[in-house]
Structure 1
């Protein structure tokens, strides 16, 4: 399948409306974020190192059939892949793996531009199997787990990871944290905590505008000692 990958930026949003329709179709309403969150990420970070936001769309005959978004987190030298979606008519054709490879390449280039030899790792969040309420949800979760494992992502088991409450909710969301190493050295527990802290600041504080009190409550629930402060920045350490 011939796919042309293009990037949506704050100055070039030609395919944005079509991709957001694809996003709404690909994700259940209870886990979707409002469309303005994408605008906020593009405006806040865009392609300006050291911290960036990448929004990539795969085109088949000029029509969006896949998309992926992610942040480069300079403080942790890691990429946080937020969304990966494919038109349901085009699934099981290798598009998901291709999308992962493309965004990993972009985020690794951002790491090099930030002064590193390469990015340290990629991270993403995904649902826990025990959260599945139906057999269909259970099967979908198992398929996702297999897909990410085949693409090099491993569950990080030393932290009971939680996602901050989204969409005005007040309950934290237990999820699995998956990590894919890019460098040979092991990722220490301290580095993972630093990575989660950077995810929380760049994505959930500065883009989603979740309160510092809620975010610090989530960090405490994961036994991460660092606390987000009112003057938190995302500049490179």
Structure 2
């Protein structure tokens, strides 16, 4: 299949409404942020010279077959994939792997624009088994983790990672953190997590700084944001 890739750089794009249909059906409410965060992320990406936001959509003809969003974090030279979704009616066609590969290419572009020879790493969050409610959700989670492993993403086993509340509540979510190493990096994991929290959860989602610092403390990470 031939995929035509398009980046959404305008928060008024009609394509976003189609994306939201996939998004709302793909993720449990605990890790699903409000639609307006997509708009804020696009605006944020336009306003920053080095830190960037990518909203990637794959088309086959006029049909959306996949989408992914993510941030390039300049101060740690890493990518952070926030969401990746493929069309549930088009299975076993390598859509997820192709979408991850394209996101990697975009992050490498960002890294070079920031003055690096290439990208260091790409990170992403996935659900832990204890936050899933049904056997089907658990089976889907195992398949997702196996998919990420096949694409070179490994579980950060030594990290106790938490996602801050995304929907204005106080529920802090324990998640898995996966990483794909691309080139040697001198950045410690604490620096990467703080960069994720700074750019994504503070600057874009505008989650209360005190709550974010509480999450950092729970992960054993010293030093406040800002």
Q: Is TM-score (shorter-chain normalized) higher than 0.5?
A: yes
**In 1, Cα distance between the equivalents of 2:21 and 2:156?**
32
Aligned to 2:26: 26
- Asked whether the 8 Å contact 1:122–1:179 carries over to 2, the reply is yes
Deviation at 1:130, TM superposition (A): 3.1
Match of 2:209 among 208, 212, 229: 212
Q: What whole-Å deviation, never above 9, does each CA across 1:163-216 have from its counterpart, x for those lacking one?
A: 111101202110011011010x3x56x621111001001100111110010000
RMSD of aligned Cα (Å): 1.6
> What TM-score do you get using the length of structure 2 for normalisation?
0.95
Query: Where do residues 141-180 of structure 1 align in structure 2 (5 Å cutoff)?
Result: 141-180=141-180
Unmatched 5+ stretches in structure 1: 233-237
- Asked whether the 8 Å contact 1:47–1:53 carries over to 2, the reply is no
SS of 1:81's equivalent? strand
Match of 2:195 among 198, 201, 218: 198
Question: Structure 1 123/208 Cα, relative in aligned 2: closer, same or farther at 3 Å?
Answer: same
Aligned length: 226
Deviation at 1:49, TM superposition (A): 3.1
Deviation at 1:100, TM superposition (A): 0.3
Question: Structure 1 23/11 Cα, relative in aligned 2: closer, same or farther at 3 Å?
Answer: closer
Deviation at 1:12, TM superposition (A): 7.1
Deviation at 1:31, TM superposition (A): 2.5
SS of 1:223's equivalent? coil
**In 2, Cα distance between the equivalents of 1:3 and 1:144?**
22
Unmatched 5+ stretches in structure 2: none
Deviation at 1:10, TM superposition (A): 2.4
> What TM-score do you get using the length of structure 1 for normalisation?
0.90
SS of 2:212's equivalent? helix
Q: What whole-Å deviation, never above 9, does each CA across 1:116-157 have from its counterpart, x for those lacking one?
A: 011110000001123333211110111011000000001112
**In 2, Cα distance between the equivalents of 1:11 and 1:116?**
29
Question: Structure 1 42/225 Cα, relative in aligned 2: closer, same or farther at 3 Å?
Answer: same
